[in-house]
Amino acid sequence: MANTRNNELGLAVVLVSNAPGELTTWVRPLAKRLHSLQQFRPQAVSSLASLRLALVPCPNATGHEHAVAQSWQLFDRIVPACSFWSLLLRPSLFGPWPHQGIVVFLGGDQFWTVLLSARLGYRHITYAEWIARWPQWNDRIAAMSETVRSRLPIRYRARCRVVGDLMADLSSFARCDAPLEEGQWVALLPGSKPAKLSVGMPFFLETADHIARERPECRFLLPLAPTTSVKELLWFASRANPIARRYRSTVVDINNDVLITKAGTHIELFRQHPAHGPLSQCTLALTTVGANTAEIGALAVPMIVIVPTQHLDVMQAWDGGLGLLARLPGLRRLISILLIFRRVSNGGYFAWPNITAGRKVVPERIGEIMPRQIATEAIEWLASPDRLEGQRQDLRSLRGKPGAIAALAAEVCDLIP
């Protein structure tokens, strides 16, 4: 819990969120924007408003969200997800609360913010990416697009304003963070969950070795997810991991956060989270499926999305019902085959940019693929600046114009009594 300054005579703005993606791409930029406004000076006695964060239960959460948000030093008080029910039942357990406030939905189940705003007696604004589920209980709705607004019952549209896509501002926020040295950087994102890392680490290390052999000027960046550690990465890259035994590459040394493979490839680790700053400066990203494809796309970084299905373990890392079914020994192989067949035969996509566009914006390599194949394709992209720029422009066009963060902050301020 951050500063517990008594702000009973002022106002509380409570940002509500759930998982790492929403926390880093929606909450953090909005909190920074609110910090830049005169009335929002967390941890300052003269502040009109107290800026707080409430995390809600979510199956996609990692359990580390509280610690990550605390490291940003943007909030007067943070309530972890495990304490959300206690917050609803007895808010006083988490310090004094001003009599007036605003609850802002930024991820999770929208009903949680309905309950919290009612419990605290605060006004309520929902950022609706696809749909506003409880417009009758929203004081204000900030919509990502006109489509969201058109789905509202006519009687509620007057309280809705289209602010745009919050992730469209991500690249402008990121560029000022952690500048990289000159060079052609390739980002490696093998995943954050154990089942993905068990495949991703050996696969991506060997891919990097192939790229480095053909293009020795390339430099490699591996952002460390907050849910894992260097020790775990080294384990997944070692022969102790059964899947790693099928690959040639291993890590033989680590020096000042630089992994050195058996082939002599240097891969720089980046521990700070989120890694949007250095990622935004990369020429190309090699990544697994997941929310990270949305973040990389928002940063307008060209990518190749990789799903090596020869390792059935990768299915266990997927979210939702299919991921749960894939964990069952008797059904794992059947689910894997059926899912791949359905997605491929129906023209379905795995990467968020492709799902959003309804077409192939970024390449997806799904099947029994090998590191050398991915390395060859990556080298072709790296040698084609025009192709890279074309994909970069496509990714930018999916997000629309920047300015959504400022527009949402304005909506929050407009609700101040």
Q: What would the pLDDT profile of 282-308 be if each residue is shown by its tens digit?
A: 999 999 988 889 899 999 999 999 988
Rounded average pLDDT over 143-156: 95
Is the pLDDT at 156 greater than 70? The verdict is yes
Indicate the range of 33-42, 83-92, 302-311 predicted with least confidence. 33-42
Residue 224 has, within 13 A of its CA and on its CB side, a CA count of 18
Is the pLDDT at 5 greater than 50? The verdict is no
Rounded average pLDDT over 90-105: 94
Residue 114 identity (one-letter amino acid): V
Is the pLDDT at 178 greater than 90? The verdict is no
Confidence of residue 345 (pLDDT cuts 50, 70, 90): very low
Model pLDDT, residue 282: 96
Residue of 21, 30, 58 lying closest to 294 (CA atoms)? 21
CATH classification code of 174-399: 3.40.50.2000
Model pLDDT, residue 38: 60
Cα dihedral 309/63/303/310 (nearest 10):
-10
Rounded average pLDDT over 143-165: 95
Model pLDDT, residue 252: 94
Q: How far is CA 83 from CA 16, 111, 122, 321, in A?
A: 13, 17, 19, 26
Confidence of residue 6 (pLDDT cuts 50, 70, 90): very low
**Degrees (nearest 5) of the Cα angle 41, 412, 124?**
120
pTM: 0.78
Rounded average pLDDT over 204-230: 94
In the chain, CATH 3.40.50.2000 covers 11-164+401-414, 174-399
Is the pLDDT at 235 greater than 50? The verdict is yes
Q: Tokens 């894997």, residue? A: 336
Residue of 106 and 314 predicted with greater confidence: 106
CATH classification code of 11-164+401-414: 3.40.50.2000
Model pLDDT, residue 402: 85
Rounded average pLDDT over 178-203: 89
Is the pLDDT at 323 greater than 90? The verdict is no
Q: Tokens 């799902």, residue? A: 355
Confidence of residue 45 (pLDDT cuts 50, 70, 90): very low
Looking at every residue in the chain, the average pLDDT score rounds to: 86
Model pLDDT, residue 378: 98
Prior bond to 274 cis, omega within 30? yes
Model pLDDT, residue 202: 95
Rounded average pLDDT over 380-403: 93
Model pLDDT, residue 123: 96
Residue of 78 and 274 predicted with greater confidence: 78
